[in-house]
Amino acid sequence: MDRDVTVMLPPGADAELALSLERAHHETQVLDRLTAVWSLLLAKCCLLQSAILHWSIPIGGLAYVWSLSLALGAFATYHYLRAHEVELLVVPVNRRLGSTLLLGLILTFLGAAHATFALDLVSPPVLAALTCCLGAIHALSRAAMRRRAAPFLGSLAWWTSAWLALRQPDDLALAVVGLGFLLGHALPGFALVREAVRRRA
């Protein structure tokens, strides 16, 4: 004999649960927006550095493009998180997995960059293609955890960028990585934010 089972929450627990869900949604939206903005920032840095190399522009890319942009980005991120009161001390499981994966990909990239520029074992186009492959892996993992189409489409953009990077000269390989950040991370990130806003409306 089937019986309906009703779970009764303690008084006030439903309001606390709703508040927790609202906070989690808010933090996810803030982090998605930050990811998209940082990807846009990295895309800009890659494209400008590639232009400096390709046209031999007498500008120090490390000082005027990378250092300045990353410093301003970190400063803005700090104040953005404070303004939105996002507490990142307790990270949900999916974010812990994503953060661990991202750290592993960054360490792999740093090792490949050392092999390219310090040991001269890998050419810049191969390093660019490897970077795009790492971005594709991160996008695929993000799509699996979030169950959204935008990161999956971003992974396809990253794989395409990896294929294109192998066919570029040394001075244009970094531009393909910039396109990967733009099409593979920035645009899908903004799409996730827009989708979340439309669902809440």
Own/partner contacts of 192-198, CB < 8 Å, gap of 24 or more, are 192/32, 192/36, 192/146, 192/148, 192/150, 192/151, 193/29, 193/32, 193/33, 193/36, 195/148, 195/150, 196/25, 196/28, 196/29, 196/32, 197/29
What's the rounded Cα separation, in Å, for the pair 150 and 69? 26
Residue 177 lies in a domain: yes
**Are residues 5 and 169 in contact, defined by beta-carbon separation less than 8 angstroms?**
no
In a domain, 55, yes or no: yes
* Of residues 153, 149, 157, 31, the one with CA closest to residue 88: 31
- Predicted TM-score of the model (pTM): 0.85
Tell me: pLDDT of 1 over 70. no
**pLDDT (mean) for 15-41:** 74
Give the residue with greater pLDDT, 25 vs 29.
Answer: 29
Q: How far apart are CA 72 and CA 61, in angstroms?
A: 15
Whether 16 is in a domain gets the answer no
Range of the domain at 154: 27-200
Give the SS3 label for residue 7.
coil
* Integer Cα distance of 46 and 28 in angstroms: 27
With residues binned 3-state (H G I as helix, E B as strand, rest as coil), the percentages for the chain, rounded to 5, are 80, 0, 20
- In the numeric block, the tokens 């991120």 are attached to 77
pLDDT at 67: 94
Residue 35: pLDDT above 60?
Answer: yes
Q: How many domains does the chain have?
A: 1
179 contacts 43 by C-beta, under 8 angstroms: yes
Establish if 31 belongs to a structural domain.
Answer: yes
The verdict on residue 178 lying in a domain is yes
pLDDT of residue 90: 38
Identify the pLDDT of residue 70: 93
pLDDT tens per residue across span 75-126: 998 888 888 765 554 344 466 677 788 888 889 999 999 999 889 899 999 9
Band the pLDDT of 146: cuts 50, 70, 90.
Answer: confident
If one compares 2 and 23, the residue with the highest pLDDT of the two is 23
> Residue 109: which residues within 8 A CB-CB, separation 6 or more?
130, 131, 134
pLDDT at residue 190 tops 90 = yes
Q: Is residue 130 part of a domain?
A: yes
Give yes or no for residue 195 having a pLDDT over 80. yes
